[in-house]
Structure 1
Amino acid sequence: MSATPVLDALWAIHRTERDKLAAVPQRGMPKSPQAQVAFLHRRLGRSTARVARLLGVHPETVRRYLRGQRRNPPAAFADRLHQQVAARFRSRLARKTDDAMRRRGLRAYITATFTFESASAGTSDDGRERRLDEDLTASETQRLLAARDAGDEKGALQIVGQGVAEAYFGLRGSGMDVDLRDLVHIKFEL
């Protein structure tokens, strides 16, 4: 198993869902230089100066593309323009993917050893391996995606362990802590 199994599993479901969204016919990335400049202009708050700084050109150049007075950009400018548009267009698809995961929540398929601890009962010494598949709540999914974005494997593992165990064992609101050890397998689905 890799050093970051939870984060790897989260990125795998992200890629799968992103590919599903990308397969659905959507408005494609702008192709003409005028459409690309207009796309950046909208994305950057309709600021000609910000677009010009981003592309390394004079603001009047941006205005000429917006008005359709320039159509054939030099190769270096066309490359910079395409890169900036592609970066923002892809991030929009990634944002839609994460939004879909937050909205629907994730289902975790996990094989690991679970132990329990509470203030009144103490700690269970006889943790045992279990194969569980449970739905995470919307707030747990939100926290899990935040841990993924921060690169926090330990935090993600704790969120998954607590969420799955609370759902499976009916511990929500009980104050009992769950420790997930010896992770064997983890996979996520929507």
Structure 2
Amino acid sequence: MSDHEQQQPAPRRGKVLEALARAERQVFTRPAPKSANAQVKFLLTRVKGSARAVAQRVGTSTRTIERYRAGKLNKPQKRLRDALVEATESEWQPQVRAQARAQAATSRGMMVEVTAYFGFTCTGSSDDGRERHITTDIPPTYMKQILALQEAGATEEELHPVVAEAITESYFTEWGTRADGLRADFTAVTSISFRF
């Protein structure tokens, strides 16, 4: 087995973290590099030319990164291809992403569309938990918390309660105008997407 084939498994993100990453990619004003060679060259510029740093980030050998830089390799296996895309897009247009995140956390908030199982806790509630498809705004105060947790490296389990609270406030209790004391937890997330 060659160095090119000896790759570590890519870390797997949860649905909420992946949805936040997809939302950031939608604000790009220019397309990110598409070929593996261009992606490697771009990533090398972000780490001052350190092939070792890029290799560690995408889970492959330094020799493999050097071969992509030199153009000797150009078609990575799926795992490496996905890792290169992920690493490139997470570094691409940082100012554009930062501006969108700042606006979401201070003035605009974000829209969330989610299909998940929502269970409820409330005195006198007869509304049993069930799978629901909900589209609602998440205000800047909650987006600030969610984006700060994401930046701090929070896990999916750490993000769920904050997202659930934001959806509860926005959708179920309408900012305290109804269903006083209701708390909704969401589990078994089928799909989720955010829009800046």
Provide the TM-score with structure 1 as the length reference. 0.55
Aligned residues: 122
1:100 partner amino acid:
Q
Q: Deviations over 1:113-167 (max 9, x none)?
A: 111113x448x78310000000001101111111211232223222222222332
Aligned mates of 2:13, 2:92 — CA distance in 1: 31
What's 1:185 paired with? 191
What's 2:173 paired with? 170
**1:158 matches 2:161:** yes
What's 1:113 paired with? 117
Q: Deviations over 1:168-189 (max 9, x none)?
A: 2225343322111111000011
Write out aligned runs for 1:14-163 (5 A).
14-17=24-27, 19-20=28-29, 90-102=93-105, 103-118=107-122, 120-121=123-124, 126-152=128-154, 153-163=156-166
2:26 partner amino acid:
T
Runs in 1 of length 4+ with deviation above 6 angstroms?
none
- Residue 105 to residue 121, structure 1, CA distance change in 2 (3 Å): same
What's 2:15 paired with? 5
- Contact residue 133 and residue 164 of structure 1 kept, 8 A: no
Structure with larger Rg? 1
Aligned mates of 1:89, 1:16 — CA distance in 2: 12
- Contact residue 120 and residue 128 of structure 2 kept, 8 A: no
What's 1:47 paired with? none
Aligned mates of 2:149, 2:158 — CA distance in 1: 6
Question: Which runs of 5 or more residues in structure 2 are unaligned?
Answer: 1-11, 32-90
Aligned mates of 2:92, 2:190 — CA distance in 1: 37
1:93 partner amino acid:
V
- Contact residue 115 and residue 190 of structure 2 kept, 8 A: yes
Aligned mates of 1:97, 1:171 — CA distance in 2: 25
| Alpha-carbon shift at residue 108 of structure 1 (Å) | 0.3
Question: Which runs of 5 or more residues in structure 1 are unaligned?
Answer: 24-87
What value does the CA root-mean-square deviation take over the aligned residues? 2.8
Answer 1 or 2: which has greater helix percent: 1
